[in-house]
């Protein structure tokens, strides 16, 4: 409080003809309101205040702000304070007073450089990105809210947390040392990806990979295909294969399939320890087509068949899964 009063006296000495007012958070509500009203109605023309002005009333006639020790303030704070002056029809000025660069911290220098460089429309979003880069993405849980999340990443942490909560709700003990189940592994021995020449932007490709992998139904996959064709053109073969593989995952997951491999001369299906399949259908299939299908151990079904292209392999696997599943009726 004393420091702001001292600052106000120094300003008054520099501008003897000015009417200087003081505002800060320790003032009584009525007193603070009266000061702001005086400034709004131009009964005083210089307001010396704390960062309380950041969320103050709108003063359209204020055209200059001087922020002392701007290096002590956060990037979002500086952006908000700078926005207290200036309108579309009034030129305004924001002066940031900082000590020599060698005295400031590295983060403070980055903040000042960021606030200086961005003054166009949309600067708020860009400043938020700069703030994220300077300070990091923040913290989530615990005293420092980092720890394991820092080591394994947010997405994996949330998957582990979800699995633990689901196990506890069902009365089981969470087995966090077991690998996460990301669904069946499908290998059609063909590229299954979004090529660079089809979609050059890396960020867009990553988003689409995530959306395709997160699709919960065949309908969602079809909608995604239509959307991609509409946005980027006809799907190249690797993208078609990607959708085929994802569709097979959706089909194989409910019946307890761990892995599917299909190549030019056939392939194999690896079951989970407790597959949800019709064992009668499986045995009948092996007996009727012993040349093509045979069991390899307790958890593998091998098939020997000429499957020249990707679509033929996908159709063979699709038909085989349809045969093995338990009829709902």
Pairing of strands 300-304, 293-295: antiparallel
What is the homologous superfamily of the domain 185-324 according to CATH? Transcription-repair-coupling factor, D7 domain (3.90.1150.50)
Read off the tokens for 165. Answer: 């909560």
Is the distance from CB of 60 to CB of 83 less than 8 angstroms? no
Q: Around 154, how many Cα atoms within 13 Å sit in the side-chain half-sphere?
A: 6
Instruction: Compare 83 and 98 and report the one with higher pLDDT.
Output: 98
How is residue 301 written in tokens? Answer: 């079904």
Q: Considering only CA atoms, which of 81, 82, 89 is closest in space to residue 61? A: 89
State residue 143's pLDDT score. 44
pLDDT of 145:
45
| pLDDT for 116 beyond 90 | no
pLDDT band at 228 (very low <50, low <70, confident <90, very high): very high
The residues that bridge with 302 in the sheet, in sequence order, are: 268, 294
Query: pLDDT category, 146, cuts 50, 70, 90?
Result: very low
Q: For the whole model, what pTM was predicted?
A: 0.49
- Please tell me whether residue 296 adopts helix, strand or coil conformation: coil
CATH of domain 2-135: 3.40.50.300
Q: Of the candidates 104, 93, 97, 31, which has an alpha carbon nearest to the alpha carbon of residue 64?
A: 93
Domain ranges, ordered by start, for the chain = 2-135, 185-324
Residues 151-203 have pLDDT tens digits of: 666 666 777 788 788 878 888 777 666 655 567 889 998 899 999 899 988 88
Q: Are 196 and 236 in contact (CB under 8 A)?
A: no
CA 149 to chain centre: 14
Planar angle of CA 191, 193, 194, nearest 5 degrees:
135
């Amino acid at each position: 409080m004393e420091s702001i009063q001292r600052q106000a006296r120094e300003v008054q000495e520099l501008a003897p003809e000015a009417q200087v007012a003081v505002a800060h958070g320790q003032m009584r509500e009525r007193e603070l309101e009266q000061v702001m009203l005086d400034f709004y109605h131009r009964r005083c023309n210089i307001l010396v205040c704390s960062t309380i002005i950041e969320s103050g009333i709108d003063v359209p006639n204020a055209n200059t702000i001087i922020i002392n020790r701007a290096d002590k303030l956060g990037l979002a704070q500086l952006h908000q304070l700078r926005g207290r002056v200036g309108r579309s029809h009034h030129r305004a000025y924001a002066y940031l007073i900082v000590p020599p660069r060698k005295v400031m911290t590295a983060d403070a220098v980055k903040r000042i450089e960021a606030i200086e460089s961005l003054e166009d429309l949309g600067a708020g979003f860009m400043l938020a990105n700069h703030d994220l880069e300077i300070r990091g993405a923040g913290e989530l849980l615990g005293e420092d809210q980092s720890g394991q999340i820092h080591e394994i990443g947010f997405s994996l942490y949330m998957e582990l947390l979800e699995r633990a909560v689901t196990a506890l709700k069902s009365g089981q003990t969470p087995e966090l040392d077991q690998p996460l189940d990301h669904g069946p592994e499908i290998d059609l021995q063909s590229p299954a990806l979004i090529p660079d020449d089809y979609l050059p932007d890396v960020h867009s490709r990553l988003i689409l990979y995530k959306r395709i992998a997160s699709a919960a139904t065949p309908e969602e996959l079809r909608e995604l295909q239509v959307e991609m064709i509409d946005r980027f053109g006809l799907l190249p073969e690797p993208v078609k294969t990607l959708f085929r593989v994802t569709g097979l995952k959706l089909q194989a997951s409910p019946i307890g399939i761990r892995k599917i491999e299909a190549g030019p001369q056939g392939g194999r299906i690896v079951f989970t320890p407790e597959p949800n399949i019709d064992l009668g259908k499986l045995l009948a299939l092996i007996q009727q087509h012993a040349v093509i299908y045979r069991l390899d151990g307790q958890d593998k079904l091998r098939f020997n068949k000429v499957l020249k292209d990707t679509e033929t392999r996908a159709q063979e696997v699709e038909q085989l899964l349809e045969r093995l599943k338990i009829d709902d009726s």
